[in-house]
Amino acid sequence: MAKKSETPDAEAKAEEATDDAAKDQAAEKPEAAETPKAPPQQQVQVQVDDSEVLCCYSNFCRVTGSPEELIIDFGLNPQPTGIPQNPIKVSQRIVVNFYTAKRLLAALQMSVQRHEQVFGVLETDVSKRVTPQQQQLQQQQQQ
């Protein structure tokens, strides 16, 4: 009979320990539910040899592609407002896979964001950037 009296006490203590453990786990869950912190990324410096690079200016870009890669054409549009009278001559073509394109997109987004933080938002619609006087001249030229 002594064992029976010890067993209920032992069971009660085990239940209390289980309840305490459950409470501890419940208290820890909000912390565990938080997004796990990624290890800090180290910036790696890649050495680049640009001694033979060719530089050209572009104010026109066309992106086409296939399921495997993107084709990015660059050229010079001599008439940036309105519809060009002559075909735009493409002078450079870069072909990249989609992984490289995504890294390029991220790098360009970061660079443009930094620029806009310093100099203000960039308006990509040329007609919104043109002053009224320039618009009148363009309208007269088109007539």
* Percent of the chain at pLDDT exceeding 90: 46
Instruction: Output the six-digit token pair for 107.
Output: 């790098």
72: burial class by Cβ within 10 Å (0-12, 13-18, 19+)?
Answer: middle
Tell me how far apart the alpha carbons of residues 106 and 86 are, in angstroms, rounded to a whole number.
33
Question: Is pTM, for the whole model, over 0.75?
Answer: no
pLDDT for 124 beyond 70: yes
**Look-up of token digits 């088109």:** 142
Q: What's the pLDDT tens digit per position in 49-105?
A: 999 999 999 999 999 999 999 999 999 998 877 788 889 999 999 999 999 999 999
How large is the average pLDDT for residues 6-13? 46
The DSSP output letter for 67 is S
